[in-house]
Structure 1
Amino acid sequence: MRYLNLALLVLFPIAWFAPLMRAALLPIFGMTEISVMTGLQSLWQSDLPLALVVTFLAIFAPYAKTIGLALLHWQLLSPRALPALRHMGKLAMADVFLIALYIVIAKGAGHVTVDVAWGLYLFTGCILASIFISWRADHG
């Protein structure tokens, strides 16, 4: 488990820059790839409070949890921190839910075309792997 957790330290940044979806107002004009980072860039320019929340959910929470679990695996952090780490993982999963909700809303808008890209699966997989690792740390 400790090496899977360390792999997440590499996979999370890849997932942040990977395309989550491709969107276009009209598909004949080409589709724009949207990643966690491009979405955050847009949010920081348009909606600061939402940008802070999404930055915490998408970047800080999953990475802090992964670092915390690594410290726990190498006995550098007390097992009493595990409940807090589990809550960090649940917050990160909320971000995946928000992305999925945005895709559903955009698809229902009519003239908008949205295609899910491989980065959404990678990001979701990273979050789920992190939740599984913390569950194993708690029960193993």
Structure 2
Amino acid sequence: MKNKILSLIYIATLSIVATAIAYESWGNAIGYSHTVNKITDKLQMADNFQASGKKILETITFSWYDGYTEGINELQALKTKSEKYNKNSYRFTKAFVGIVLLSLLLYLIGRKRFLLVGLISLSIIALFTGWFAPILEITAYQDIPLLGNTIFQYESKSIITALYKIFIQEQYAIVAIILLFTVITPIIKTILLLTISFKETLHLSSKSINALTHIGKWSMLDVFVVAIIVTYFSMKSTGQTDANLQIGIYYFSIYVILSMICTYIVSFKKPL
């Protein structure tokens, strides 16, 4: 009884801490996207002619009119804020990776069932974060006086928002493939892993292992389908734009790796 309580405490603590870290990663990534969108909105509303006019007016009034400087200061504050959000999103992502590595090490040392459940819990958290966190950003930069190289156009996509955009473009076959291998299959795989972990003595467990083994053969299709999403949107970038991976791709990759490890454990290396 005491061991069960300690096991539950471990799983609950691990899940709460990992969820909090993943939430911070997601929150900062979304904050970064929203702040960069504010920058691009301000830059697009104020064209070069209007900005030059404000600068001239500020000069001839000896800074009595400070509209140009005020606008630059607002952009600088937003730029600093966006950089902070971006840095924090990666900092929390690294912390999540650290928790995953520590949990894997604990399992290798202890090989207990509750440690396996902890790994499955981490895979679930990584999966949900991988769905909703941005996986790709497409940016265009412009050199702005006093600000330097600043994002002028910006677009980011998560797996869920990518699904929606492809759906409204009526690319239904692509939507079906992405939905199957990045949403439906991971959910089924996770349910099977939990079933096996909690009910190994039941006959249902052997059937679940067989089903899990068959699904496991298609594991790398998860990554392949995400690669399709990344390629689909990065091809829309031009010579003046850059396409960069975001934290969502790392969380989804963590899920894929953890699910493969957990599948191997329950199929071939029974925990104690």
TM-score category, normalised to shorter length: 0.7 to 0.9
Take 2:230 and 2:177, find their aligned partners in 1: how far apart are those partners? 19
Return the letter of the residue paired with 1:133.
C
What does residue range 60-75 of structure 1 map to in structure 2 within 5 Å?
60-75=184-199
User: For structure 1, which segment, 2-11 or 114-123, has the greater mean C-alpha deviation from structure 2 after superposition?
Assistant: 2-11
Aligned-partner SS, 1:78: helix
Hey, what does 2:159 align to over in structure 1?
Answer: 36
Report deviation, 1:107.
6.1
Q: How many angstroms does 1:7 deviate by?
A: 2.8
Radius of gyration: which is bigger?
A: 2
- Write the mapping of 1:1-140 to structure 2, written as runs, cut at 5 A: 1-24=116-139, 26-28=140-142, 29-46=152-169, 47-75=171-199, 77-101=204-228, 103=230, 106=234, 110-111=238-239, 112-140=241-269
The CA RMSD measured in Å over matched residues stands at: 2.4
Using the size of structure 1 for normalisation, the TM-score is 0.83
**What TM-score does the superposition give when structure 2 sets the normalisation length?**
0.46
**Cα pair 2:124 2:255 within 8 Å, conserved:** no
Identity %: 22
| Contact map agreement 1:86 1:134 (CA 8 A) in 2 | yes
Aligned residue-pair number: 139
Asked whether the equivalents of residues 57 and 94 of structure 1 are also in contact (C-alpha less than 8 Å), the reply is yes
Per mean C-alpha deviation after superposition, the further-off stretch among 122-131 and 112-121 is 112-121
User: What amino acid is the match of 1:41?
Assistant: Y
Q: Which segment drifts farther, 58-67 or 29-38?
A: 29-38
1:58-100 superposed Cα distances (whole Å, 9 cap, x missing partner): 0110121011110110116322322322333443531322333
* Whole-Å separation in 2 of the counterparts to 1:121 and 1:131: 15
Partner amino acid, structure 2, of 1:30:
Q
Quick one: distance in 1 between partners of 2:165 and 2:236?
Answer: 22
Unaligned runs of 5+ in 1: none
